Structure 1
Amino acid sequence: MMWRKWVAAFIGLLLLGMTLGATGVTATSSEAQETVTVILVSDNMADSGVAKLLANATGGIIVTTPWGVYEPNVTAEILSYAPDQVIIIGGPMAVVDQYVTDLEGYNITVYRWGGMNRYETNLIALEMAKGRGLLKKENITVFAPGNDSVAIQKAVEIALQKGGVVVYVNKTVSIEKLNKTVTIRKAIIVNTPVSKGVAKRLMKGLFRHNASAVDITVNVTDQIQFLEKLIQLRIERIEEIANMTNSTELFSLAQNLSAGLNEVNELLQAGNTTQAYKKLLWLQVRSQFVLKRAHLVLFREMGHGKIGIMMKLMKLRAELEILQKAGVNVTAYNQTLTEIEEYLKKGNDGMALRLLTQLENQLRELYKGKRAVLRKHMWGRHRGRMHGPHWGGNQTSNETESGRH
């Protein structure tokens, strides 16, 4: 039946999404406090770097979602930590607003620190964190070209080691503008052979402002395989959606991405590692947008009403699973899910949606009553690694509510 086909395929996509945007825990505070903070970020390398630094400073938990894609299992993962607040790194193009809707429905405070691009997001996150005393005065400023994944990764590593912050730069970087957010005294500029030009321009600018700076060039070879695997996973997901929807557009886009990977392999075989890496950086960004396009095609083909029902069904199922794993009895709720599936099989979407809405309200109340149980279970999994300071209360500046990547 068509309903079974959509459900089976949709579950498969969610499982693949877990691979693409795997969630993770990053925290350093070992002192138990009364609040839990989750940092939600996309798998965009630049935003992920900001999240790692923030998690290191606050003891927050990082949960990752695929760039530009909503996946109900991500909401369930966040709820499993019973957070008091969630901070989103990135604009709604990177981390979609549906997560905000989900979390606020459970009375979880959500902040979004995001700008029009990764450079603005980077500075906004630093400003917000400093304004709340979450980041101490930086010992050193580590710069990295914002479109160079290997340089970003190394810059974050150095900043964590030396107690510094990371600032992303491009060809049009303004030292005067940066000085409004960070105090640049000692600087490290991390680059690769493909971003050497950006590093040279930045070095000249820092010299004019009497800042001490050193330049580090990183070898890209070790990260090429990782980037190839990431892009290949995205291609596989796009192809899966193309098969589900019979979309010639998506097949063509997936083939173009695959051709790009073949070109990368040819460049590597010819010994041209720098050009291969440059091509991979382009494919990394391109594959994000194509994957987002694939999900839009999927939603269109399933129909607006149908996709809403499917998303809600998957979200509630995932939330029931996290409650069950924590020891909560959810037998009656699972029986309701079975009833909903029966209505969907019969084509009675209206009744299915009504039951889903009722079940969603019931689960919200159940979740509120079982937060202590979830948190105890969470502590059993990640003892001493989860807690960070509360970011609520009287704020001295407004959260950034909008932005795009």
Structure 2
Amino acid sequence: MHSMNITRRRFLGGLGTTLAAGMLPMPAWAQASAAAAASADRLREPLSGWTPGMLDIHHIGTGRGNATLIVCPDGTSMMIDAGAIDGLDKYLIDELPNDSRRAGEWVGRYVRRHLAQAGRHEIDDFVLTHFHRDHMGERLPDTPMASNGKYALTGLIDVAQIVPIRRYLDRGFPDYDFPAPLDDPNQLNYRAFIQAERARGAAVERFRAGAGDQLRLRRRPAAYPGFAVRNLMVNGEVWTGEGERTRNLFPPGAVPTENQCSLALRMDYGAFKYYSGGDVSNTTNYYGDDPWRDVETPAAQIAGPVDVAVANHHAYADAMGPACVRALRPRAFVILSNDSAHPSITPLENMLSQRLYPGPRDIYATAMKPENIIANKRVREMTSLNGHVVVRVEPGGARYRIVVLDNSDESDRVLAVHGPYASGRREAVGG
């Protein structure tokens, strides 16, 4: 791995901000500089800043819910989920870095730091995979209210108090009634917030299965023609792979669970491919009944092989089945964990299996309950058990690294750097 002195990295960070702010063309020398910046992350030092042409995917580890920040090659900013479980359940992972702030506040502060390095101060697109507390936030009787008195501060809403959001995409807008009215306290809190955001001028849309242009670069799309996001699935409607056509997995009259309605997407940058599917699952507890409840297999099969995959449903017992793992066959899995059963034994066995697909692979968790290390022996074979997991894709998408950051404080110190890996290949390549 190449190393660079601090002065060089600071120069590159400043150059990236200047280019992003000025929307200047990115010449070959700048692309080379951005690639050098991607390899400049050094152990025990803060993560180097994003520069134009890079794709950074930050899996934020608070131990209390999913949260992913994406800084695209042209500086477009996206987020997938911002969860916050605020209860005191013995099965939950302790709050990270500590309990002096709510999980959503920690996420918002992380997002603000890393967007500022890219010269950005807002989130262009926020994507909510589904309406569960560990993906959007939890309202309890003692959750503090916003100053306007209309909703409680938790998860996504805490993030939006720190970093403004321009557009929201979810599975339910505008009616929020599939497969039944979404009206538990957490969902009603989210809906009240969305109503207030619309009044403020933010856009809200329903995530459209099959769409290839709903999530797109907003600043310099012509400069990065190899970047695209495909909406794979939502509400049981899955892309067929042809145009924007879809098919419905749910039979008439079916009543799916909230997890089965999760959305899934694939992000491409050149040869690099990334999969994220919220809590889609195969629902093994039905023991062969209602086979339509297996939504993760169709999602994975239409996604196809990827380089990095977020583990469905935190790699819990009803997810990451053999067919899903075989279809995705990533070089790296990322588990966004919050519970003592993340990952569960069988999903981890599947992700490690050389029978499902051959070759090396890495498995990262953003946090780990210590009891799971004892109960699930193969956890010791995972690459990393704790920390923010940052996927850094070089300009053009041909290579990427995976950087693990310290989540015990806000220093963003580098704990480990893995790669570089050639996109579409299984082994690391020379740096």
TM-based fold match above 0.5 = no
More strand by share: 2
Query: Which has the greater radius of gyration?
Result: 1
TM-score of the superposed pair, with normalisation by structure 1? 0.25
* Higher RCO (CA < 8 A, seq sep 6+): 1
More helix by share: 1
TM-score of the superposed pair, with normalisation by structure 2? 0.24
